[in-house]
Chain A
């Protein structure tokens, strides 16, 4: 590196700062322009083996599937959330009730039984996708309010055979 020696100070050596600042600014601008703010995304795995989806594997497992039904109007809004035959309503609280009911079925989170139980989501054709994600999420587990850790309920989620559109 070129060092400029000055006469003034007895042995004072000054490093030229300009090139370094140039490069640093270049880098700074590059990284600033490259910055993309993306919200963290998460996955919900679903179990969709090839073959008839309704083909139940009842031979080795005696546990019945949990059937979560989601009914919608023509605009795709949720009109009814059901668990088996039970109507849970159609508001936000309905999903909390679903969470509660699932907990009742599995007795306690982490129960070995949960490995064998499957949840079948049976949604209307028009229903907006966000409600399905909500239902899937409530069946998979909940966040512990104290620790913020995931408490897992049921891992296996599948879809019932699709419905036809209402107009068809």
Chain B
């Protein structure tokens, strides 16, 4: 490292290159970090697809439902019955109705009576979940009067 000689005999390291690099790193991490709350659950291994492009227009109101399996730290399934990861709890699909009713009431309280028609249900389902259960989930959502649905997939290169 370049050393600058100061009178008196002791040397002071030149800080400029280090500060340059640190600022570069800082700028990089600031730009890359994403504070958006996506409500995505990391336990869900989404299917991959080339057409999965992030939507250009975000739905005004959305409710994300994460459907996946309870897995151990290595990713092996602990149970074959998929659950909905909702508000920190693991709820079996058949029992999600109550939570949906609660969500519906919340949406109606903030947005008025008809708002439920504009709420998109975003289904983030694990790639191995049986399709019949997803359809069952959609049916339960329909019973709670939700009408818009989107299926999520991760982008594949």
- Report if A133-B130 is in contact (Cβ < 8 Å); known contacts: A8-B6, A42-B52, A150-B53: no
Counting CB contacts under 8 A, is B115 at the interface?
Answer: no
| Segment touching A, from B70-78, B87-95, B98-106, B149-157 | B149-157
A150:B51 contact, CB within 8 angstroms: yes
CA distance A124 to B15 in the complex (A): 66
Q: Which residues of A are found within 8 Å of B9, using beta-carbon distances?
A: none
CA distance A37 to B55 in the complex (A): 19
Counting CB contacts under 8 A, is B50 at the interface?
Answer: yes
B153:A44 contact, CB within 8 angstroms: yes
Main secondary structure of the interface of A (DSSP, over half): mixed
From the candidates A38, A124, A129, A162, name the one contacting B139 in the complex (CB within 8 A): A162
B136:A162 contact, CB within 8 angstroms: yes
Counting CB contacts under 8 A, is A141 at the interface?
Answer: yes
B52:A41 contact, CB within 8 angstroms: yes
A123:B138 contact, CB within 8 angstroms: no
Interface size on A, residues (CB 8 A): 51
- Report if A17-B130 is in contact (Cβ < 8 Å); known contacts: A39-B155, A50-B142: no
Q: Which residues of B are found within 8 Å of A24, using beta-carbon distances?
A: 19, 22-23, 26
| Segment touching B, from A27-35, A58-66, A103-111 | A27-35
CA distance A92 to B24 in the complex (A): 44
From the candidates A28, A128, A142, name the one contacting B51 in the complex (CB within 8 A): A142
CA distance A159 to B142 in the complex (A): 13
A5 → chain B, closest Cβ, in Å? 14
- B6-38 vs A: 1/0 string, CB under 8 Å? 110000000100110011011001101111001
A41:B40 contact, CB within 8 angstroms: yes
Q: Which residues of B are found within 8 Å of A94, using beta-carbon distances?
A: none
- Report if A45-B129 is in contact (Cβ < 8 Å); known contacts: A24-B23, A40-B155: no
Counting CB contacts under 8 A, is A85 at the interface?
Answer: no
Q: Contact residues of A with B, CB < 8 Å? A: 8, 17, 20-21, 24-25, 27-28, 31-32, 34-36, 38-46, 48-50, 70, 76, 123-134, 136-137, 140-143, 150, 159, 162-165
